[in-house]
Structure 1
């Protein structure tokens, strides 16, 4: 009887905590995307806890670039089906394996083969597209296609053929200093420093700062809390905590607060409203053009050839080099714990000092 009461009390406390977290997410969603969108989520009776709600949030806000990828991949699939004389909307039954082989052999419109990473992206998107159109694509179908892709990639490596641009350059501490010393003493320069320094510390994708409102970035006695609602999964919808750094020159907290204070001082108090973009667009004449879009984030006036994934690679790689726990890195950057993509981002500094055998004997 006593044991049952204890379990009942724990279950009740868990439901209460989950309910509070769920309400907070709904309220946050309402502030960001309106009452109607929040009500649709709140009315979903099968949302048992905050993680389910986060999944629903992520589904509601599939980024435009993901939608574009799905559309592009489906066009690749239709070209393959036309070339192979196969129907687009019938069960795969081995056609996914043939699709992979075709992509690596001749799949591009210029007749050249895709890089294995691009072929993998198209494969994943086509599986989604088939399911959306009511076509069954089983785990076995996908597994066979993935196995074929891996085997073909190995053959390319054995022949010395490397396709694609390779992994993006990862952000690093030296790069942060270069940015700090190169950005002009303007609102745009302050914005770029704040965007990169904060983005490095929460492993931002290009769409993340573009989707932030100023109310999503809150000051805490120990730093900043960034509410990231533009993630693709329940793991990437998160509150990232960014602390003050030892060196003020590359401190994300100081950079962000300085940028926001200057923005309000030079362009008006309306920019202090929580619903305004956290990072604003600024033209070459210094005029505010509204919020940033993902493309303009990657084109911001940063004097280094980083890409939209450089900050994610940077947090994973530098965090690993500094001995940070993999779970802590995953939680901060919005990966699933022990995510293969996160591990793939962890670039080694070099092949000598950073090798596993260094210093063993």
Structure 2
């Protein structure tokens, strides 16, 4: 029976064999399982963790009500939503749990709900959101508050010119300039950031929504406090001096309390840098997270007059998507407001 490995010879991931048309049902089932494992192994670690977390929640619900873990129906999925509501889950958490569970079960070979049943599940989620609004209740942290350029200046101002301070300044300003998710900026390699006459060209090799290389241009800033190019150069020069050689590896390296330069940073560490710096700057920490840098680029760019397509390109958003619309509306609700100019 002919076989062909679907993995490079030096890979230690699951091996896939391609069998002929006369293979038995058992052999084909083995191939299906190997294919799912192969694709799952190639997913980014954060995505796998999210799916695993969603599936654990589903499995806990099934266990609580003696439901088979592969019994996906409109009834069991609406029941899952009700169970999450009873645990005071936020609407966005419920949306992610439902989506992740459906994806995980599809990977197990379970047929997904049809479009009508999916709409029933979605309507129950909308009912929950309306009920929270009617009673003035909030679940979860809510959306990250966009960080403004004025606040970026405050953050930059409190950072000193030590290696740690230079790294943190470059980290925050580059993340803002490329509208980065925290995992994206943490995952950059030194070789991914090139200095050009016009500014920085950052190559994003993988992200939440794409595994294709994407080049992001970050022009020179007009303020020494918030120029991403100056901040990057200063950090890299200080790092090279400290190491005694041209730095390689991750673009943003961990630095311990003894000043030792270690390996790359995690996404959570990026968040901690922002929160620590915001505390030192005396900024309101309500809903402040690293995602506020990404949101802030969108709102500040809109405030400066850039169109939705230009902003979408910089931040890898869909130009017509709800995520970008939400950020732009923060600005536009004041600029194009029905109450303006009516003589109140």
Q: Give the TM-score of the pair, scaled to structure 2.
A: 0.79
Cα deviations by residue, 1:114-144 (Å, 9 ceiling, x for unpaired): 1111111111111111111111113523322
Q: CA deviation at 1:170?
A: 1.6
C-alpha distance in structure 2 between counterparts of 1:234 and 1:79, whole Å: 31
Change (3 A) 1:72 1:200: same
Aligned residue number for residue 311 of structure 1: 293
Change (3 A) 1:350 1:342: closer
Aligned residue number for residue 308 of structure 2: 326
Q: Secondary structure at the match of 1:94?
A: helix
Partner of residue 97 from structure 1, selected from 54, 78, 81: 78
C-alpha distance in structure 1 between counterparts of 2:198 and 2:151, whole Å: 24
Runs of 5+ consecutive residues of structure 1 not aligned to the other structure = 1-33, 38-57, 107-111
2:232 is the counterpart of 1:250? no
Partner of residue 264 from structure 2, selected from 274, 291, 294: 291
The alignment covers a number of residue pairs equal to 298
Aligned residue number for residue 135 of structure 2: 159
C-alpha distance in structure 1 between counterparts of 2:135 and 2:212, whole Å: 38
Q: Secondary structure at the match of 1:337?
A: coil
Runs of 5+ consecutive residues of structure 2 not aligned to the other structure = 1-7, 12-38, 279-284
C-alpha distance in structure 2 between counterparts of 1:35 and 1:337, whole Å: 41
Mapping 1:1-361, distance limit 5 Å: 62-104=43-85, 106=86, 112-140=87-115, 141-234=117-210, 237-271=213-247, 273=248, 276-300=249-273, 302-304=276-278, 305=285, 306-346=288-328, 348=330, 353-354=334-335, 356-357=337-338, 359-361=340-342
Q: CA deviation at 1:349?
A: 5.6
Cα deviations by residue, 1:276-319 (Å, 9 ceiling, x for unpaired): 21111111121101211222222226411431311111112222
Q: CA deviation at 1:61?
A: 6.0
C-alpha distance in structure 1 between counterparts of 2:298 and 2:211, whole Å: 15
Q: Secondary structure at the match of 2:330?
A: coil
Change (3 A) 1:139 1:309: farther
Q: Secondary structure at the match of 1:142?
A: helix
C-alpha distance in structure 1 between counterparts of 2:336 and 2:256, whole Å: 46
